[in-house]
Amino acid sequence: MTFRLVASDDALEQLIDELVGEPRYALDTEFHRERTYYPKLALVQLAWAGGVAVVDPLACDPRALRRLLTSEAVAVLHAAQQDLDVLTHACGAVPVHLVDTQLWSGFLGYSTPSLSSLVQGELGIALGKGDRLTDWLARPLTDDQLRYAASDVEHLLALFDRLATQLTALGRDGWAHDACDELRTRPVGPTPPDEAWLRIKDVRTLRPRARGVARSVAAWRELRARRSDIPVRQVLPDLGVLGVAQQAPRTAEQLGRARGLDARHTRGAIAEEILAAVAHGLEHPVDLPREAGDELERRLRPAVTLVSAWVAELARQERIDTALLATRADLTALLRGDPDARLSHGWRAEVVGDGVSRLVNGRAGLTFDGEGGLRLFDVPPV
């Protein structure tokens, strides 16, 4: 495989001039975020009918790619969620028109396949094995490293064609496009500071007063990590947030007795900021956000388990990834009567939403089909 290395602003502008006139292009990124708060873009790989290019964003300004991303050309990616986060931060835009081959494959019976397994299964091509632990921010990169990166987009357009043919034959191409639009418009970017505490394991075991401290300290940690562009764990580990929440220290001496802290947390400006966050948290105790099941009337809670079993069987029969068809949160939203529930409109309403409503309203029932599966049947009106 031959590829073009783009390592100057002029070369990037020339490449974009070529691509904005294309109907579609393949896109992938390499990035790291182990040592930073924000993802650090290391490479952008592009493929189109005329070739393959690897863009070095350390040698040129990746914000120029915004012109391509906002063009009418269709961007084809695989497992795009993290790429969208990276592109939002580095380029200030995501593709206006997006196809995610991993999502598309879910409508053909695959369950979140890797790119290599999907290319092997659909195109019969074995992708070369490279060093997945490559430091993509190191320079210079070797030809082998660049070639391995370029291989991630080399077959994406052929894969797109293969999947599109099958989806069109099944009448599911509209479903697939809708799912990709949901992904494209899903919020990306940093965690809202006031929600950061919810990502900490065991935080739900705290009492309301301690939860208020945990929320406040976690929000402080999130904002400080952003300002310094370092991982939150380097500001204060999760154990430290929990330790401070449980102790609720008022002084630096008390702060020093909390688990998960070291000397840098117990003196100077950092100690003052933590203690200020503790004081704020003590004034604002927190009740836990309700779990999805708690938001349902008690009489409907068993329905979630029953309906989940039918949805899993329906997904198997229809060869659709269960997570695409309906998540537990989707079922809860429908049973709760949310007006924007995903199962109440679009293709999901057609495939599963109506059946769920009929089951819950007593107009349908479930039975075994004699072959180990479940079958939905109409209940005659009384």
Residue span(s) of the chain under CATH 3.30.420.10 come to 4-184
- Topology of domain 4-184 in CATH is Nucleotidyltransferase; domain 5 (3.30.420)
- What is the pLDDT at residue 135? 95
Residues (pLDDT < 50) of the chain are: 291-294
pLDDT of residue 293: 42
Q: How far is CA 371 from the centre of its chain?
A: 36
Query: 193-282 — its CATH code?
Result: 1.10.150.80
Instruction: List where CATH 1.10.150.80 sits in the chain.
Output: 193-282, 293-378
Question: What is the rounded CA–CA span in Å between residue 243 and residue 255?
Answer: 9
CATH 1.20.1290.10 fits 293-378, yes or no: no
The pLDDT score that the predictor gives to residue 289 is 59
